[in-house]
Structure 1
Amino acid sequence: MDAFVGYVLPEGSLDIAKKLKLICWMHAGCDELDLARLKTLGVQVTNLRGANSIAVAEHAMAIILGLAKRLMAKHQACVNALPVPVYDVDSRSAMLHRRTLGIIGLGQIGSAIAQRAKAFDMRVLGVRLHPELGAGVADAVFGVDQMAQVLGNSDYVVLATPITRKTNSFFGAKEIDAMKSGTFLINIARGNLIQERPLYDALKSGKIAGYGSDVWWTYNNAFPASYHFPVPSRTGIQRMPNVIGTGDQGANADDVLDRNIARSVESLLEFQNDKPLTWKIDLDLGY
């Protein structure tokens, strides 16, 4: 086998696939792969970055609006025929208009979120590893070393960065302390970017007004190990009234599967014809 296309690489595959030269990985994130070993074996990897960016960006906006407008609580009140106090601090909606959105990770998904946020007249601040690449449609861009400044000026914060050795669990108590009180936090990337306990404490105290996430924590020492599907949080975050979870559904949208397949076929054809791989990832960086 020279090439592999798929969502899951069965355990032990690298031990028996002696001729493997290419993996067309049908995810945007490549954190499930043993990238160091693949580099040693000389195996190239392509991914689906950008193929689902519009769908995920729309999903991110849905979560932002769901939190801001308290849609879950108001839906339940409607279902149970309960009144909702008008203009009460605990029931009125937050606004997006003229509020500031901080996007941590201004790649294809982050840039697509920025574009949609501008349609709501939001001020958008981006953080990216290489700020010299520019802000795009965002109002300003900052380096990773300036993230605290962005967090302190944002009413909404979206995590849209790949998960790598450097970003795994990077968002913890220090980053939460840098946020304004009452900020909404949205995670559209990977659950394990955020340290769970500090987030739980911040939600309980009201430091963070609400948390919305399409992704959940991966517990490697669970049985079975959790990945790409929701499991109950060990802190019970999923039961908190100011939390929205959507169970890895951002890319579950019209047209996405067709684009995923087309992208993989494109990579296979480039490989077959000895052409540069358009969607090749850097095995050292992990994306």
Structure 2
Amino acid sequence: MKVLCFWYATEEEKNYIKNAMPPGTEVVAPKGSYFSRFDCAYADVKDLLSDADAIIAFSVPPGALEKAEKLKVFSWLHSGVDDLRQMGVLRLFMERGVKCANVRGANAIAVAEQAMMFIFALAKKTVFKDDAIRHKRTLFPLYADEYRSTMLDGRTLGLVGVGEIGGRIAKYAKGFDMRVVGVRRNKGQAVEHVDEVYGLDDLHQVLRQSDYVVLAAPNTPETHQFFGRAELEAMKPSAFLVNIARGMLIQEKALYEALTSGRLRGFGSDCWWNYPFGTAFPAGGGGSRLGIHRLPNVVGSDDQSANADDVLVRLIEWGTQNILEFVNRKPLSREVRLDLGY
């Protein structure tokens, strides 16, 4: 069996995968110069594709998978597979009968902690007050609306998406005595640390009662830009919105208008919009064409929630487990539903 790494794997990483596999397994990775070792160039991998039985990947060079004619199983080292769907990879796998698994949950702790960081930064006006002390500005008078922070204790957190990440956020929120309500596809299934579970049709009911709303849902055809003007108008003007999932869940213009008109108190995000060809991109990479990332009531980072201790090791461990399950003819515990796209 041949396992191909779609990144410039170190010898230590290749040996880890090889030692986990049955004897005789070959593990290969591209070689060459790179800017990021997790971005795989087609030129460096093209000669390794034809006889690969399994691929474990951080990224996919365009056109590469079409050349992997012996491919039987693909292990994606991310939770979301919307990039694969947009590239036509999931459709290709359906046509060829290739199994696909992801590592959902591997970065759940890190991403949930990032979500809580955003909640605290917005509630406690962290960036604003840090800037004030750096420039020796006194925030006076005390308890004025523009200076007073908000509380978590006794407030309601609305979670849109209660999977691995959402469940972890709920656990953390209960530690601050928050009431937690969740929205998920299967509203009949109780979730630990979530006080009430609602279905997608009840989203506005959840938004109306929430002081903080966190988006932790996958980007699927059903959720793509589902959060627009109607959803923002359903929220309390005093509420905060946090997106820890995918930028394309939210309609950009509607969010900008809500943040600049006082309709929404604040926004925190680690994920931003992807723009189609021919559309103006924000300068410097991640962010918003409309400058949402520069608004005073916004805090953000650019795809940094999983950039934390322990995460890389766990991604490779879980990605290797996916292939090992396939080799041992066991059900893939993190198999991707190719028809649903997650």
Same fold (TM over 0.5): yes
**Which among 48, 66, 77 is matched to residue 26 of structure 1?**
77
Residue aligning to 2:289: 234
Residue aligning to 2:66: 15
- What is the CA deviation profile of residues 30-87 of structure 1, one whole-angstrom value per residue up to 9, with x for unaligned ones? 0011222221221111111011111111110011000000001111111111111221
2-structure distance, mates of 1:230, 1:189: 18
Name the Cα RMSD after superposition. 1.6
Q: How does 1:1-287 map to 2 (within 5 A)?
A: 1-33=52-84, 34=88, 35-85=90-140, 86-221=142-277, 230-287=285-342
Shift of 1:267: 1.0
Corresponding letter in the other structure for 1:206: G
SS at match of 2:82: coil
2-structure distance, mates of 1:182, 1:39: 46
1-structure distance, mates of 2:177, 2:298: 25
1-structure distance, mates of 2:306, 2:224: 22
Contact 1:197 1:235 in 2 (8 A): yes
How many residue pairs match? The answer is: 285
- What is the CA deviation profile of residues 206-257 of structure 1, one whole-angstrom value per residue up to 9, with x for unaligned ones? 111000001111113268989xx94241101011000011111111111111
Contact 2:287 2:302 in 1 (8 A): no
2-structure distance, mates of 1:223, 1:43: 34
Identify the structure with bigger relative contact order (alpha carbons < 8 Å, sequence gap 6+): 1
Provide structure 2 residue ranges, at least 5 long, that are not aligned to the other structure. 1-51
Contact 1:230 1:248 in 2 (8 A): no
1-structure distance, mates of 2:185, 2:285: 29
SS at match of 1:116: helix
Corresponding letter in the other structure for 2:318: R
Contact 1:114 1:124 in 2 (8 A): yes
Shift of 1:261: 0.7
2-structure distance, mates of 1:136, 1:144: 19
Contact 1:190 1:216 in 2 (8 A): yes
2-structure distance, mates of 1:230, 1:50: 27
What percentage of residue pairs aligned between the two structures are identical?
49
How has the CA–CA distance of structure 1 residues 230 and 137 changed in structure 2, closer, same or farther, with 3 Å as cutoff? farther
Corresponding letter in the other structure for 2:67: I
Provide structure 1 residue ranges, at least 5 long, that are not aligned to the other structure. none
Contact 2:325 2:332 in 1 (8 A): yes
Shift of 1:193: 0.3
Corresponding letter in the other structure for 1:30: V
Shift of 1:284: 1.3
Bigger radius of gyration among the two: 2
How has the CA–CA distance of structure 1 residues 29 and 225 changed in structure 2, closer, same or farther, with 3 Å as cutoff? farther
